[in-house]
Amino acid sequence: MSASCAVALRQTPNRTVPCIYELDPCKDSRWNTLVENHPRASVFHSSNWLRVLQAVYGYQPVAFTSCGPGNALTNGLVFCYINSRLTGRRFVSLPFSDHCEPLVDRADELDEMLVRVNERACENKAKYIEIRPVLLTPGTNSGLTKSRTYRSHRLDLQRSTDTLFHNFHKDCVQRKIRRAEREGLKYEVGNSERLLQMFFQLFVKTRRRQRLPPQPLAWFQGLASAFGDDLEIHIASKSDVPLAGIMTLCHKKSITYKYGGSDASLHRVGGMALLLWNTIREAKEKGLHELDLGRSDLANQGLIAFKEHWGAAGSSLSYWTHPQRQEMDASRWQNSVAGRIASHAPEIALRTAGALLYGHIG
């Protein structure tokens, strides 16, 4: 990627369109400053997340901005360039990220950057570009259209612990928390290799049930190494047998529940309920304001209901692409021949498939 000034964008009458610059967000310290100070920046904008995408999958991070070299960044739009021999070339903002808000203040500013990204995509013979905004959406001048819509959920942690618990669904959440406490489940939290291995085994079991290959162990090890104490693995066990595990990422005043896994045969004892409840209480003790529960496919009404039973507020989350394309969602994979094979394949085969495939599908 060139770090020099890009060519000027198309001109409009009586208006000078700014030059758009490119930078490497993993090497340019101005990116970290922007992410730290911008109110809409998330963990997915962080250089830690970008470095793991680059190290594990070979994706090339690049950010676009109207701020020239030597000037502090006041805006930025970050992508990863994916160059796959299997699925083609594309610019995605960002792979494996539930959302990635453009760090710009105006819709026209976003469109100016997207025009340049489109030009860059053409130069690289990319199939498409994709963005995953939360609030600021592209205008008609950008050429982008909606490709898929999800449901996103967030839980406000600024209410009292008692109020939060009172808002939980009585049967689906409160009763399960009390069941877990009666069962005397053991709770552990940290980021050790031992906890990571326990989590990964539970994650593989869950992906098998979902008829999906797991992401490779190297991905989770990379995240643990990059984020340090900002990544935590939460494990619930009974008689030293792991029942459920989740992985969370902290960024400023937000905590993100990014991955989870469980033993379905032991769901009745409430391991996952205990994990989320302890995570909420610990987040409040740290002064965090929000729990991001991530995205859900609209077809997965069970997952949407699960999140809403915790009192999380839902909102629409749309991905935008140019040119227009139909995204391959999880439900189509699960119902395919590959999905049926995944549900019965030996663990080593399932893990190998994940290690081979995920670099091509970000």
- Per-residue pLDDT of 20-71, as tens digits, reads 999 999 999 999 999 999 999 999 999 999 999 999 999 999 999 999 999 9
Paired tokens of 197: 């291995």
Q: What is the DSSP letter of 134?
A: S
Q: Is the bond preceding 50 in cis, omega lying within 30 degrees of 0? A: no
| pLDDT tens for each residue of 225-253 | 999 999 999 999 999 999 999 999 999 99
Paired tokens of 225: 């190494």
Which whole-number Å values give the CA distances from 76 to 3, 67, 175, 317, in the listed order? 14, 9, 45, 20
Residue-level pLDDT at 337: 44
Q: What angle do CA 96, 273, 250 make, to 5 degrees?
A: 40
Confidence of residue 347 (pLDDT cuts 50, 70, 90): confident
From the CA atom positions of the chain, what is the Rg in Å?
Answer: 21
Residue-level pLDDT at 140: 86
Nearest C-alpha neighbor of 151 from the set 334, 318, 321: 318
CATH number of the domain at 153-318, please? 3.40.630.30
Neighbours of 358 (CB within 10 A): 19
Task: Tell whether the model's pLDDT for residue 7 goes beyond 60.
Answer: no
Residue-level pLDDT at 17: 58
Residue-level pLDDT at 13: 42
Number of alpha carbons in the 13 Å side-chain half-sphere of residue 239: 3
Task: Tell whether the model's pLDDT for residue 277 goes beyond 90.
Answer: yes
Residue-level pLDDT at 135: 95
66 contacts 110 by C-beta, under 8 angstroms: no
Confidence of residue 338 (pLDDT cuts 50, 70, 90): low
Residue-level pLDDT at 11: 37
State percent of the chain over pLDDT 70.
90
| pLDDT tens for each residue of 211-222 | 999 999 999 999
CATH number of the domain at 21-143, please? 3.40.630.30
Confidence of residue 9 (pLDDT cuts 50, 70, 90): very low
Residue ranges matching CATH 3.40.630.30 in the chain: 21-143, 153-318
139 contacts 314 by C-beta, under 8 angstroms: no
Which H helix or E strand runs over 307?
helix 301-308
Paired tokens of 53: 């995408």
Task: Tell whether the model's pLDDT for residue 332 goes beyond 90.
Answer: no
